[in-house]
């Protein structure tokens, strides 16, 4: 019996991968629990495993007293001398209990404790194993689906692929083999919870590391990844060897390397761009395949104003804004895209608005805050509106008016007013008068009087 227990301990330790000392401690605790259940919690009990005999030994200790008040914890001097002639008062004397006498209920209790402790020990081992594997790619079999996501069998444990970590529109069925990226290992009561992902940017980085030797040995370094999982991604790379082309290394011969990654990600399109320490150069690469005319950099706001040829706007923005969105995520900067024609219009207006701000000795932002976004709007505003919105004195407003006249903005304001009058005549005017007013405005805006030296068309 004793040797069978010792062999069982050795076999369980080997098969389950549980430390032998930990298993012995578990057995001792289980036996102690059974003894307490049978004899009561106030007993002084000591349990130990005898390595020589291979037996679990249980001792019940009692204190030697003259008057015994609690026979469970005390023994009289007379009775104690029968067991040990050298005993004296206040000594503790131990009595060996027979483990086999614990009874069926106590044995069942010990078995439950042993099973639970073994399970706890096994879960602790699994947790210790997987907590150091964060950032690795694992492969498993799809087992079932629950309200949280897909449960994947990894062998010794299960992993959860949450809905938010899946590639959109990707479908699985029971028995499918799937790869995923370990993002977290949680220590929970029912066992370690391994959380995996297929949409995480680092999953793509790990795939590149696996497929591209230059990435694995750090010759080519991945500087950033932006993903729209299942649709498109941008990967910024940098070569630490001038003889190695980072884009070519990642693509491989005839696209063999990148194609393996694309297939694993269910056809996700991947743009590989060259990283640069110059943000404007980096942005131009990130917005490919669009051609960029120039880029204005605002370091304080981390804002890029990107100007593209008129026929490149669609490419730069991308379908549903995907290209510029991924580029912005990759750079970590905000991006505003303008066509060359639109930017030139805005720039001319801004220069004139900046001149008006200089005359009034106020920052140009005050015009924007007042809702005056171009010089024409300033010219059309009344003196009272300018004083109120811009918080200016009447003298400053007169200076702005003089600048408007000097810049040639006043006629435009008059024309706009005339057009407004033509489109929205006074309500009191009769229908015939409205027609005459419109005709007069059109002549004044669009036509020129004939030269006295040249005959008119009627002649």
pLDDT for the residue 345:
73
How far, in whole angstroms, is CA 108 from its chain's centroid? 49
Domain 2-127 identical in fold to domain 133-197: no
What Å distances lie between residue 416 and 165, 351, 376, 409, CA to CA?
56, 21, 9, 11
pLDDT for the residue 1:
42
pLDDT for the residue 369:
82
pLDDT for the residue 107:
55
CA–CA gap between residue 441 and residue 173 (Å, rounded): 73
Q: Which residues contact 402 (CB under 8 A, 6 or more apart)?
A: 359
What Å distances lie between residue 249 and 213, 215, 232, 256, 274, CA to CA?
9, 9, 20, 10, 12
Q: How far apart are the first and last CA of the chain?
A: 134
Q: What is the CATH code for 133-197?
A: 2.40.50.140
What Å distances lie between residue 235 and 90, 220, 316, 322, 330, CA to CA?
79, 12, 17, 14, 8
CA quadruple 236, 272, 322, 311: dihedral positive or negative?
A: positive
CA–CA gap between residue 283 and residue 330 (Å, rounded): 9
Phi, psi of 95 (to 5 degrees): -120, 125
Can you give the pTM of this predicted structure? 0.60
Domain range list for the chain: 2-127, 133-197, 201-341, 417-446
Strand order in the sheet with 303-308: 294-298, 303-308, 334-339
Of 353, 404, 397, 345, the residue nearest 374 (C-alpha): 353
Contact between residue 397 and residue 386 where contact means Cβ atoms under 8 Å apart: yes
pLDDT for the residue 103:
52
CA–CA gap between residue 337 and residue 24 (Å, rounded): 70
pLDDT by residue for the chain (459 residues), tens only, comes to: 445 666 767 776 776 666 777 777 877 777 777 777 777 777 777 888 777 777 778 888 888 888 888 777 888 888 888 888 888 888 888 878 776 665 555 556 556 666 676 777 777 878 888 888 888 999 999 999 888 899 999 987 889 999 999 998 888 999 999 999 999 998 876 677 899 999 999 999 999 999 999 999 999 999 999 999 999 999 999 999 999 999 999 999 999 999 999 999 989 999 999 999 999 999 999 999 999 999 999 998 899 999 999 999 999 999 999 999 999 999 999 999 989 888 877 776 777 778 888 888 888 778 878 888 777 788 888 888 888 888 888 888 888 888 888 777 765 444 544 444 444 444 444 444 433 333 333 322 233 333 334 443 333
pLDDT for the residue 313:
93
Of 197, 22, 204, 48, the residue nearest 120 (C-alpha): 22
Specify which residues 192 forms β-bridges with.
187
Q: Which residues in 388-400 are b (16+ Cβ under 10 Å) and which e?
A: ebbebeeebbebb
| Topology given in CATH for the domain delimited by 2-127 | N Utilization Substance Protein A; Chain:P; domain 4 (3.30.1480)
Of 190, 191, 216, the residue nearest 137 (C-alpha): 216
pLDDT for the residue 248:
94
Which class does domain 201-341 fall in?
alpha beta
Q: Which residues contact 238 (CB under 8 A, 6 or more apart)?
A: 220, 221, 223, 246, 274, 275
pLDDT for the residue 231:
93
Helices (H), 99-255: 104-131, 201-211, 213-216, 246-251
CA–CA gap between residue 336 and residue 283 (Å, rounded): 12
pLDDT for the residue 414:
47
CA–CA gap between residue 90 and residue 76 (Å, rounded): 10
CA–CA gap between residue 373 and residue 381 (Å, rounded): 12
């Amino acid at each position: 019996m004793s040797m069978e227990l010792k062999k069982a301990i050795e076999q369980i330790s080997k098969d389950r991968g549980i430390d032998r000392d930990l298993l012995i401690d578990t057995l001792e605790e289980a036996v102690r629990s059974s003894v307490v259940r049978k004899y009561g919690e106030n007993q002084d009990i000591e349990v130990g495993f005898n390595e020589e005999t291979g037996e679990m030994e249980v001792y019940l200790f009692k204190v030697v007293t003259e008057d015994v008040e609690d026979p469970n914890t005390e023994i009289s001097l007379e009775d104690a001398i029968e067991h040990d002639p050298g005993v004296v008062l206040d000594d503790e004397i131990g009595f060996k209990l027979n483990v086999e006498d614990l009874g069926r209920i106590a044995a069942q209790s010990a078995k439950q404790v042993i099973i639970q402790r073994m399970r706890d020990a096994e879960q602790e081992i699994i947790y210790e194993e997987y907590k150091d594997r964060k950032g690795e790619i694992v492969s498993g079999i799809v087992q079932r689906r629950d309200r949280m996501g897909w449960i994947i069998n990894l062998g010794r444990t299960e992993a959860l692929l949450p809905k938010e970590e899946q590639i959109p529109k990707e479908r699985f069925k029971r028995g499918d083999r799937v790869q995923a990226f370990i993002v977290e290992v949680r220590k929970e009561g029912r066992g370690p919870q391994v959380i995996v992902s297929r949409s995480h940017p680092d999953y793509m980085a790990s795939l590149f590391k696996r497929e591209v030797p230059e990435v694995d040995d750090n010759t080519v370094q991945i500087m950033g990844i932006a993903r729209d999982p299942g649709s498109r991604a941008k990967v910024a790379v940098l070569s630490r060897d001038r003889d190695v082309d980072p884009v070519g290394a990642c693509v491989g011969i005839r696209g063999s390397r990148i194609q393996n990654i694309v297939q694993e990600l269910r056809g996700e399109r991947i743009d590989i761009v060259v990283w640069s320490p110059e943000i404007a150069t980096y942005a131009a690469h990130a917005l490919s395949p669009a051609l960029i005319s120039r880029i204005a950099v605002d370091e304080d706001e981390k804002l890029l104003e990107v100007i593209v040829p008129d026929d490149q706007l669609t490419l730069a923005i991308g379908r549903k804004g995907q290209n510029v969105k991924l580029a912005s995520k990759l750079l970590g900067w905000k991006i505003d895209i303008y066509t060359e024609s639109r930017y030139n219009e805005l720039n001319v207006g801004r220069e004139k608005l900046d001149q008006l701000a200089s005359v009034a000795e106020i920052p140009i932002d005050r015009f924007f805050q007042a809702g005056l976004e171009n010089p024409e709007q300033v010219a059309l505003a009344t003196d009272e509106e300018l004083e109120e919105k811009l918080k200016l004195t009447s003298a400053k407003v007169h200076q702005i008016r003089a600048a408007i006249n000097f810049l040639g903005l006043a006629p435009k304001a008059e024309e706009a007013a005339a057009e407004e009058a033509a489109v929205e005549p006074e309500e009191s005017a009769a229908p015939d008068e409205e027609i005459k007013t419109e005709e007069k405005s059109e002549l004044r805006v669009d036509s020129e009087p004939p030269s006295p030296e040249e005959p008119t068309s009627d002649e």
